[in-house]
Amino acid sequence: MLSNVAVELPEDRARVGWWLFVAALGVAAAYIAYSFVGMAVLGVFGYYATRPIYRRLGELTDSDRLAAGATIALVAVPIVVLALYAGVRVVDQAQQLLGGSAGLVGLFQSTFDLGSLPVDQRRQLLATLRDPGQLVSQPRRTARRLLQAGSRVLSALFGTLLLLALSVAFSYFLLERESALSDGLVRLFGGRDTTAYAYAAAVDEDLESVFFGNLLFVLVMTVLATVTYGATNLLAPEGVAVPMVFVLGFLTGVASLIPVVVGKVVYLPVVGYLALQAVRSGGGALAFVAA
């Protein structure tokens, strides 16, 4: 009897040890998933939004890698070009509207997101931009604070770029390995005739329909908004014009995914800007904006 107890105790300890090991792996996996949740969400969105294009290109070539690369290039390259173009236009517009030290401050704020900086560091950075002469009078103190603020800004910028790069790479991986992942899920769910597989397949198709539909909606709204802003400039009286028509059209298309946001972020600022131009130009321009 004692021998049986002696045998059972090591087995129980081994079983507890394995459960602790599995729990530790689960905690580690949850932490990794939490750390990269943004990358995973963007990557999955890119996968489902571009999968119909990938499958259409896959009919033209036997290489999954080539089809996935072409799909990512067709979607990612235009987005990068649009983002660069939008950035150049925003900077150019800020330089035209702002001047002197105030213009430098406004340009810096429009280019970099300073909201993540502590209040003291943000005030010191803006004060330095308004009065660059203090760089000479207090070089060490100013340089130290600028380095601290700059490191945070660069860290946020690098983190954003890294997030986008990893998301694009994850989307490419999902597209390129679609067949292997599909076969693995079939084996995991026990075949194509099981209820679990039927449910997963239905969810998969719904996600593709929603995300691909969102992509098409953004493209259509971008075109419509750009045409509308351009037509507004053609009909507007002298002195009243919508700035950065193509950039605003692109931003309107993206913001249109959330109707409440597009009204507050795009439409109201544009109408306010046109009203300000109308007040300055006088005449019947304000009536045109009100209409």
Query: Rounded distance, CA 49 to CA 46, Å?
Result: 5
Report the amino acid identity of residue 106: G
Cα distances (Å, whole numbers) of residue 277 to 55, 152, 202, 287: 49, 37, 52, 12
DSSP 68-91: HHHHHHHHHHHHHHHHHHHHHHHH
Q: Which residue carries 């003291």 as its tokens?
A: 120
HSE of 290 in the Cβ direction (CA atoms, 13 Å)? 5
Residues 218 and 177 in one domain: no
Cα distances (Å, whole numbers) of residue 214 to 46, 169, 173, 254: 11, 21, 21, 9
pLDDT of residue 48: 92
Dig out the tokens for 167 from the structure: 């998301």
Residues 234 and 184 in one domain: no
Residues 162 and 68 in one domain: yes
Q: Is 62 exposed, middle or buried (0-12, 13-18, 19+ CB in 10 A)?
A: exposed
Any long-range contacts for 68-74 (C-beta under 8 Å, 24+ apart)? 68/172, 68/175, 68/176, 69/172, 69/176, 71/175, 72/46, 72/168, 72/171, 72/172, 72/175, 74/50
Number of domains in the chain: 2
Q: List the end-to-end C-alpha distance of the chain, in Å, as a whole number.
A: 95
Query: Rounded distance, CA 65 to CA 67, Å?
Result: 6
Say how far residue 148 (Cα) sits from the centre of its chain: 26
Residues 289 and 159 in one domain: no
Residues 150 and 259 in one domain: no
Nearest CA among 230, 218, 243, 240 for reference residue 89:
243
Per-residue pLDDT of the chain (291 residues; tens, 9 = 90+): 444 444 444 555 666 677 777 778 778 877 777 777 888 888 888 899 889 999 998 888 888 889 889 988 888 777 767 766 776 676 666 666 554 444 444 545 544 555 555 666 556 655 655 555 555 555 566 566 667 666 776 776 677 778 778 888 888 999 988 888 888 888 877 888 888 888 988 999 999 999 999 989 988 999 999 999 999 888 888 878 888 888 888 888 888 887 776 677 777 888 887 888 777 777 667 777 776
Residues 195 and 217 in one domain: no
Report the amino acid identity of residue 69: G
pLDDT of residue 210: 92
pLDDT of residue 196: 83
**Where a domain ends, among 168, 183, 204?**
204
Q: What is the DSSP letter of 238?
A: T
Residues 244 and 130 in one domain: no
Residues 249 and 146 in one domain: no
Residues 226 and 156 in one domain: no
Residues 251 and 177 in one domain: no
Query: Rounded distance, CA 152 to CA 160, Å?
Result: 12
Write the Ramachandran bin of 143: left for phi over 0, alpha for psi from -120 to 50, otherwise beta: alpha
Residues 229 and 248 in one domain: yes
Nearest 5 degrees, angle CA 157-CA 159-CA 160?
Answer: 65
Query: Rounded distance, CA 161 to CA 169, Å?
Result: 12
Range of the domain at 290: 205-291
**Where a domain ends, among 204, 221, 249?**
204
pLDDT of residue 3: 47
pLDDT of residue 122: 59
CA dihedral 95, 252, 51, 191 (to 10 degrees): 130
Residues 239 and 224 in one domain: yes
**Where a domain ends, among 184, 204, 224?**
204
pTM: 0.66
